[in-house]
Amino acid sequence: RELQARLDSAIDNGEFCFHYQGKFDTAQLRLVGLEALLRWDHPRHGLIYPNAFIGLAEQTDAIVALGNWGIDAACRQLVQWRAAGLPLVPVAVNVSARQLCQAHLPDFVLRCLQRHAIPPGLLELEVTESCCIDDMAQATLGLRRLRALGLAISLDDYGTGHAGLSHVRMLPIHTIKIDRSFIRDLGSGGSADCDTVIVASTIAMARGLGLQVLAEGVEDGEQLAQLRRLGCPQVQGFYLHRPAPVAEVAALLAAGA
């Protein structure tokens, strides 16, 4: 409750920042994108992770202000990297259900891109399956407009929601991100066989639909090897790169893209 009361002033005070985690192509482990992950640098509690405050923010309009801050912040970061002469990759921002149901979200995104002269292809939005449930019509409409503007849309945590396949059919997505719970036991026996079939069929479905597919939560070389065998084109996870503050990301961009 103390955190909730401070959310709005924390935005104004510049207490939020992003850490960035790389996404890589499986074949050569070249950097293909970054995911922006929100952090609250609280003056008294130190660095706070989103699980501690996103839920609180979602109970009020603070999530809309925070979400708008995030889209603008990602664009401003791209401007800085561009000014530093670094090769750029698309930056993905997570959006919440409340944000997605805002009719003016596409206009807001467009204005940010224009203000910072960022090509739409450099901004990506990650939505979860549960994100869209509240107001499927509004979410679909907004995402279609964003897609038409040239943004990529990822379906995050794929496989954990209640309506995975109908979302794949209805939403204008570009990438399926296979939830890390399906990756954890790959290549280690146990429930691995079931997970292998699920991952393989998700990759086949994505290919059939002409969608990109990425495996989340890759934590060791065995999982990576298994994903290579299965032909999963993109990977993300601690084994490849841990979310890092912006100061450490320039080197990744310089080396990777």
Contact letters (x/-) for ligand G, 43-82, by CB under 6 A? Answer: ------xxx--x---------------x------------
**Nearest approach, Cβ of residue 222 and ligand G (Å):** 13
Count of residues touching Na ion (by CB under 5 A): 3
**Nearest approach, Cβ of residue 125 and ligand G (Å):** 10
Contact letters (x/-) for Na ion, 119-158, by CB under 5 A? Answer: -------------------------------------xx-
**Which window, 120-128, 207-215, 225-233, 238-246, contacts Mn ion (CB under 5 A)?**
120-128
Nearer to Na ion, 37 or 65 (CB): 37
Check binding of 126 to Mn ion (CB under 5 A).
Answer: yes
Nearer to ligand G, 84 or 222 (CB): 222
* SS3 labels along the chain: CHHHHHHHHHHHCCCEEEEEEEEEECCCCCEEEEEEEEEEEECCCEEECHHHCHHHHHCCCHHHHHHHHHHHHHHHHHHHHHHCCCCCCCEEEECCHHHHCCCCHHHHHHHHHHHHCCCHHHEEEEEECHHHCCCHHHHHHHHHHHHHHCCEEEEEEECCCCCHHHHHHHCCCCEEEECHHHCCCCCCCCCHHHHHHHHHHHHHHHHHHCCEEEECCCCCHHHHHHHHHHCCCEECCCCCCCCEEHHHHHHHHHHHC
Contact letters (x/-) for ligand G, 96-125, by CB under 6 A? Answer: x-----------------------------
Binding site for ligand G (CB under 6 A): 21, 37-38, 49-51, 54, 70, 93-96, 126, 156-157, 180, 216-219, 237-238, 243
